[in-house]
């Protein structure tokens, strides 16, 4: 199939906040079904719901500082999201132009993507042009008009399972793991394109400092995604991954990890990685060599973490020791810091993949419990820039993660 030039001319950069990814399998990597092509949800399609409240022409946007033009009614036909191109840097105009000339590209939407630390998850969040991006989502989401009105009004549409687990009081989602990181109201629970967990509009992307236009969604129409992937990879080169979207990660493709959302994210850097299987990943060797260190710290002994975190970890443990609380941390129950992996049963990167999280006193501090972690120790770690998993809606009291940079000299 040749490119529809008028459609391609409407492809424009939008900002995607690519938050650390829940796997959405609905409509992944397939052509549009008969039900989808006319806008009717297929039987068994996941549901999408808007948060309570009314959004319309007569209702002010929820966040005027982050509102954009309302999207209007959905434009048919809906489109399968077949291929995702994702890079650490913006896609060049020349690359975009060359992709547009490839036979087999039916529609494309340029995006920006990155991961955002939310508790121990790294969410892939997308800041999009609601009117055009919605056509790539599962039909149940594409047709939920209120969801896209709310995204345009400055709220977030999020994968239902993750949104309900990670939301804070009042239905808000904190885009980062620090107390000062921005908070956005959840406007809708709606399944998204595979590899994307949550969606905001372009103004939010600007606020979050996203790298504009570093990704692209492609619908191949009647052509098979497999037939297009190699030509796309030749154009993208080594700087971008080209992956076929589906229920499982494409193990042959180098993935991209780009953390955003605050000073910690800027300090730890971004890396490409290969999926090893068994929930593990292998980050780029150059990034690992430049950032991951094995050093000795009080109480725990040798730890392997990101170099940015080590001074603050050492300072926190030193204060624990000086205050006579060393017996509150059992070094034999320390479960590690740098461990490149996904969150269990997901394709969302754990913050352990960056080496900025650690688990202590594991047996008595399991997920979903109040835990036995001494609260004086918790207070010391918070003082030195760490967030504690015991504060989360679904608790993880063994877990501490770097949330802000503190001068630990």
Residue with tokens 């297929």: 42
Q: For residues 106 and 99, what is the distance between their CA atoms, to the nearest angstrom?
A: 11
Q: What is the pLDDT of residues 56-91, one digit of tens each?
A: 334 567 889 999 999 999 999 999 999 999 988 899
Q: Does residue 71 come out as left (phi exceeding 0), alpha (psi in the -120 to 50 range) or beta?
A: alpha
Strands (DSSP E) contained in 11-149 are 49-50, 83-87, 107-111, 113-118, 121-128
The CA angle 121-125-127, to the nearest 5 degrees, is: 160
The band of 109, judged by pLDDT with boundaries at 50, 70 and 90, is very high
Nearest Cα to Cα of residue 300 among 326, 338, 339: 326
Residue 40 pLDDT: 38
In which band, very low, low, confident or very high, does the pLDDT at 247 lie, cut at 50, 70 and 90?
A: low
260 confidence band (pLDDT: 50, 70, 90): confident
Q: Which residues have CB under 8 Å from 4's CB, separation 6+?
A: 106, 107
State mean pLDDT over 286-315: 95
382-396: b (≥16 Cβ within 10 Å) or e: bebbbbbbbebeebb
Q: What is the pLDDT of residue 269?
A: 76
Contact 15, 137 (CB under 8 A): no
pLDDT for 358-373, tens place per residue?
A: 999 999 999 889 999 9
Q: What is the pLDDT of residue 407?
A: 85
* Model confidence pLDDT, tens digit, residues 144-157: 999 999 999 999 99
| Mean per-residue pLDDT, 266-281 | 80
State yes or no: cis peptide before 265, omega within 30 of 0.
Answer: no
Distance CA 204, CA 244 (A): 27
pLDDT score at 52: 52
Q: Identify the structural domains of the chain with CATH numbers, from first to last.
A: 5-261 (no CATH), 281-402 (3.30.1380)
Beta-carbon count within 10 A of 318 CB: 17
Asked whether residue 55 carries a pLDDT value surpassing 50, the answer given is no
pLDDT at 401 over 50: yes
Identify which has the larger pLDDT, 291 or 266.
291
Instruction: Give me 382's structure tokens.
Output: 């918070």
For the entire predicted model, the pTM comes to 0.67
110, two tokens: 């340029």
Cα separation, 175 vs 306, whole angstroms: 21
Q: What is the pLDDT of residue 364?
A: 95
CA dist 135 → 39, 107, 221, 394 (Å) = 10, 10, 13, 33
C-alpha atoms less than 13 angstroms from C-alpha of 271 in its C-beta half-sphere: 23
Q: What is the pLDDT of residue 248?
A: 56
Query: Confidence class of residue 224 from pLDDT cuts 50, 70 and 90?
Result: confident
Give 7-19 pLDDT, tens digit per residue: 333 333 333 333 3
Where would I find the H helices in 175-326?
A: 202-207, 225-236, 263-268, 285-291, 310-322
For the cut 80, the answer to whether the pLDDT of residue 318 exceeds it is yes
Lowest mean pLDDT among 209-213, 319-323, 332-336: 209-213
Interstrand relation of 83-87 and 301-306 (parallel, antiparallel or unpaired): unpaired
Give mean pLDDT, residues 264-283.
80
């Amino acid at each position: 199939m040749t490119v529809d030039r008028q459609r391609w001319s409407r492809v424009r950069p939008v900002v995607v906040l690519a938050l650390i990814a829940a796997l959405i399998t609905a409509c992944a990597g397939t052509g549009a079904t008969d039900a989808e092509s006319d806008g009717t949800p297929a039987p068994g399609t996941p549901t999408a719901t808007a948060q309570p409240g009314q959004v319309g022409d007569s209702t002010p946007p929820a966040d005027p500082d982050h509102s954009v033009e309302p999207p209007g009614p959905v434009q048919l036909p809906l489109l399968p999201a077949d291929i995702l191109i994702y890079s650490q840097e913006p896609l060049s105009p020349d690359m975009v132009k060359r992709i547009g000339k490839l036979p087999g590209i039916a529609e494309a939407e340029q995006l920006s993507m990155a991961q955002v630390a939310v508790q121990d998850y790294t969410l892939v969040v997308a800041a999009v042009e609601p009117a055009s991006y919605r056509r790539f989502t599962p039909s149940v989401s594409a047709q939920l008009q209120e969801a896209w009105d709310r995204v345009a009004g400055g709220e977030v549409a999020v994968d239902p399972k993750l949104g309900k687990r990670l939301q804070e009081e009042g239905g808000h989602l904190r885009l980062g793991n620090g107390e000062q990181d921005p908070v956005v109201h959840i406007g809708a629970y709606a399944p998204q394109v595979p590899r994307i967990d949550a969606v905001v509009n372009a103004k939010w992307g600007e606020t979050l400092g996203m790298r504009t236009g570093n990704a692209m969604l492609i619908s191949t129409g009647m052509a098979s995604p497999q037939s297009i992937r190699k030509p796309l990879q030749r154009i993208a080169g080594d700087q971008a991954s080209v992956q076929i979207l589906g229920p499982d990660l494409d193990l042959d493709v180098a993935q991209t990890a780009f953390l955003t959302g605050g000073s910690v994210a800027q300090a730890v850097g971004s890396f490409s990685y290969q999926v090893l299987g068994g929930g593990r990943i292998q980050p780029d060797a150059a990034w690992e060599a430049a950032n991951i260190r094995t050093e000795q710290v009080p109480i725990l002994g040798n730890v392997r973490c990101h170099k940015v975190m080590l001074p603050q970890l050492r300072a926190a443990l030193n204060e624990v020791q000086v205050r006579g609380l060393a017996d509150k941390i059992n070094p034999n129950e320390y479960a590690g810091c740098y461990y490149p992996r996904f969150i269990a049963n997901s394709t969302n990167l754990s913050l352990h993949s960056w080496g900025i999280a650690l688990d202590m006193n594991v047996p008595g501090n399991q997920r979903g419990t109040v835990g036995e972690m001494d609260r004086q120790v918790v207070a010391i770690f918070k003082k030195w820039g760490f967030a504690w998993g015991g504060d989360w809606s679904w608790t993880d009291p063994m877990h501490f993660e770097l949330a802000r940079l503190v001068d630990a000299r």
